[in-house]
A and B are shown apart, each in its own frame.
Chain A
Amino acid sequence: MTIENKGGANSFHQPDENFEPYEQHGKMPWPLIAIAIGLGLWGAATLFDTREDVATAQADRTAASQADTGLTTDPGSALFAARCSTCHQPDGMGVRGAIPPLAGSPFVAQGPELVATILMRGIDGPIRVNDHIFNGHMPSFASALTDIEIGALSTHVAQRFGGSSEAYPTTAVAALRAAISDSGSFKGGQDISTITGLDFGNQPAGKAQVAHSLTPEVSALIFTGRGEQWACASCHGDLGQGKENTPRLAGLSADYIVKQLDDFANGRRLNESMRVVVATLSDSEKRQVADYYAGLRVPSTARPELGGDLARGEALALRGDWSRNVPACFSCHGPSGFGVSPEFPPLAAQQAAYTASQLAAWAGGHRNNSSLDLMGRISRQLDDADRRAVADYLASLPPVPAGEAEQIARTGVRP
């Protein structure tokens, strides 16, 4: 279609009034071609890049679904490293005066079924392991681990530390889970002896749990609301488990909760809904509500859901990132994220979106109630990916075992 002798006037018909000027095909200027080529290259590069991402995403999803079904290699030892070693230590030796050793423990020597039972129920109370009495709290992993994971983990623990050769099948875990669903934690070594009928020597007796009683007024505050105050449970859930960026309250220390309520009132924490609520609460009501939530021992509903890098989250929680002056979360919040009252709340099993949003709030200056601005300084050193990573990791942990008053929690019934 190129008109060859473009300049030669003679080759054209003489124009007349009806003549439609012929649209010549002009040569495209080279910059346009260059732009097209440039954009094309750019597009190709992006496509190439995304193609890898899509493949990675697919692989990650497959890996995640495989992890759900427990198909990773040597799941038991990986689970032990991830779930048990912060307390019982990588070598299973425990911590003197605080955490019982697994190696040489008569309970572990009983085989994987008892290990699985303890994993699912947890222990609140004194237990004698060899020569030492430990008076502590082991969380229930029932809500944090699947049947397959509990099977693999109890098999691994019993084989590595108890000399067992038995493999504990997933079906048995499922049956066990159904059998002990609402039984609550063991009250100590003697309770384990009594319930299982096994002899573990002279075991200390645990304290009988006292049912927490709520006054009708406080019960109304929590479950039905009052005047201009919405019920606590209407957002935080009947058992204080929280959801998304509404925090889990179950198992937080009462002193911590009271301090936060006060800080909502005095503006050191900015949350409009909570400010409306606390304006109606008296000091004594704050304390009673806090006591109620502090005493709840309920399963975790938190899950990693922010797409964070769990390995990075674990590294931050356990070791920190000293290159940025970020100490390990656990160096202040306790070795399993159980918290140290009242300044360092439990982090384990907290809703991921809440943890991440609070870190962002500290970094952005919307939350200012940390002593010495510890959390403000630390949060500003973390980037968005770090915040999601650490929040997701903490959400994957078993909930903090709370002391008293677990009976409300166990039955899960409004008084």
Chain B
Amino acid sequence: MTEPKEAPEAKPADINKGLLTRWWIHAAGAVLIAVAVGALAYESGFVPNRETVQSASQTTADGFFQPPSDDQIPNDEFGAAVRRGQAIFTNTSTNASQYVGNGLSCSNCHLGAGRQPFSAPMWAAWVQYPKYRSKNKQINTMEDRVKGCFSYSMNAQHSIKGGPPPAGDDIYRDLQTYMYWLATGAPTNEAIKGVGFGKVAKTELGYSPERGAEVFAANCAVCHGGDGQGQKDINGRYVFPPLWGENSYNWGAGMARIDTAAAFIKHNMPLSQPGRLTDQEAWDVAAYIDSFERPKDPRQKGKTIEETRKQYHEGDQIYYGQTVNGVLLGVGTPDPERPVGAGD
């Protein structure tokens, strides 16, 4: 009787082993069912996927406001004005032909057709105005501000009309409609991330055009040309904008100030590689670019360079009225024989 007794004692271990195996098989079955049901739920759209979540919000992953996309421009009179404004913005010398005296477009500095954060995006600018500007010591409406762009950045003094569009011109209406539309849903009266060009921290070394020349040759010349005059395609159309000289912005433009240029460069250049340059390099190359002659400040009329410097550029980080490498800057490039863009 003792012998048969031993056999049942051995049994429990076998049973446990069997149970364990069974448990694993059950678990595998359950996992499979869960996967199948999960896949079904996902396919039928019960689980929201990432894209739908993202498009529902008004901010990008980096926390910047996201303007509407072009295919959301409405097909009505308002939408037509938005499109006209966009056409002026991206092809300024053609669609505001009478008032542009150089080779630039709004979108040369306001990248992505006015969408790119820290490239003075229009959605952020729109909700900042009207505002007080020390540049002209008065409250500026958006129209005033755009007028300033034409006067300085687009060098309207060399254009066919010889100045910015007159107050109330359709160019302002269309541009403002475009900006308003870009700012659809943007918060007003609060600090909006990505506004302007941002800032670059001051560096111990300060800035130097000599160091900047090396930075320029290594990082900028491939697109803007070794002489900074930009590059054109076979049709003579600017692909890369000129940075100084007669076809660039004039001495009154914000970009002629080294701090502004440094901030723009730091956050946006080289295109597709923002942040490639160190703060020091950004300062130096901005100083280099802004140490060349460019069209004169239109506010200089009848005044000496020194008077103009004192009145409009005092305290600015700008080479206007200073002597760099033995050359007095601010004299301006020679006036063109005929207005820029006049008929042949």
**Which of A's residues lie within 8 Å of B, judged by CB?**
29-32, 34-35, 37-39, 41-42, 44-45, 48-49, 87, 89-91, 93-99, 128, 130-137, 319-320, 322-323, 325-327, 331-336, 338-340, 343-344, 371-372, 374, 377-378, 400-401, 403
| CB contact between A335 and one of B32, B237, B271, B274 (< 8 Å): that residue | B237
A97 in contact with B25 given A136-B236, A322-B115, A343-B222 (CB within 8 Å) = no
* CB of A260 to closest CB in B, whole Å: 16
B222 touches A131 (CB 8 A): no
* Contact residues, B89-108 vs A (CB, 8 A): 91, 93-95, 97, 100
Q: Across the interface, which residues of A come within 8 angstroms of B94, CB to CB?
A: 89, 93-96
Partner of B29, one of A38, A91, A98, A400: A38
A–B Cβ pairs within 8 angstroms, 7 of them: A42-B36, A97-B341, A136-B236, A320-B112, A327-B271, A327-B272, A331-B271
Residues of B within 8 A of A325 (CB): 272-274
Further pairs besides A30-B29, A91-B87: 15, Cβ < 8 Å: A29-B22, A31-B22, A31-B26, A31-B29, A34-B32, A37-B36, A42-B39, A90-B87, A93-B91, A131-B344, A137-B234, A323-B60, A343-B222, A372-B273, A378-B272
**Contact pick for B87, options A41, A45, A93, A99, CB 8 Å:** A93
Considering only CB atoms and an 8 Å cut-off, how many residues of chain B contact the other chain? 52
B139 touches A (CB below 8 Å): no
- Give the distance to chain A from B120, nearest Cβ to Cβ, in Å: 14
Q: How far is the CB of A372 from chain B (nearest CB, A)?
A: 6
Q: Are B25 and A96 in contact (CB under 8 A)?
A: no
The interface residues of chain B lying within 8 Å CB-to-CB of A377 are 272-273
- In the complex, A334 Cα to B35 Cα: how many Å? 50
Do B28 and A31 touch (CB < 8 A)? yes
Nearest 5 pairs between A and B by C-beta? A131-B343, A98-B237, A136-B235, A34-B29, A38-B32
Q: Which residues of A contact B274 (CB under 8 A)?
A: 325
Instruction: Name the contact of B222 in the complex, choosing from A31, A39, A134, A371 (C-beta under 8 A).
Output: A371
A331 and B273 in contact, given A93-B95, A338-B234 (Cβ under 8 angstroms): no
Min CB gap A199→B, angstroms: 19
Q: Which of B60, B97, B235, B270 is the most central at the interface, judged by chain A CB atoms within 10 Å of its CB?
A: B235
Residues of B contacting A48 in the complex (Cβ-Cβ under 8 angstroms): 43
Q: Which residues of chain B are within 8 angstroms of A32 by Cβ–Cβ distance?
A: 25, 29
Label chain A's interface by main secondary structure.
mixed
* CB neighbours of B273 from chain A (8 A): 325, 372, 374, 377
Is B231's CB within 8 Å of the partner chain A?
Answer: yes
Q: Which of A38, A45, A319 contacts B33 (CB 8 A)?
A: A38
- B39 contacts A128, C-beta separation under 8 Å: no
Pair B25/A29 contact, Cβ less than 8 Å: yes
Nearest B residue (CB) for A35: B29
Least distance between A66 CB and chain B CB atoms (Å): 22
Tell me if B112 and A90 are in contact (CB < 8 A).
no
Residue in B29, B93, B234, B272 whose beta carbon sits within 8 Å of that of A96 in the complex? B93
Chain A residue contacts of B271, Cβ below 8 A: 327, 331-332, 374
Among the listed B40, B91, B222, B231, which residue makes an inter-chain contact with A41, where contact means beta carbons less than 8 Å apart?
A: B40
Shortest C-beta distance, B321 to chain A (Å), equals 32
| Interface 0/1 of B314-335, CB less than 8 Å to A | 0000000000000000000000
What residues on B are CB-neighbors of A93 within 8 Å?
Answer: 87, 91, 94-95
Is there contact, CB below 8 Å, between B344 and A128? yes
Q: Verify A340–B231 contact, CB threshold 8 A.
A: yes
What distance in Å separates the Cβ of A200 from its nearest Cβ neighbour in chain B? 15
Nearest chain A CB to B230 CB, angstrom units: 10
**A132: chain B residues within 8 A (beta carbon):** 343-344
Report yes or no: A332 in contact with B235, Cβ–Cβ below 8 A: no
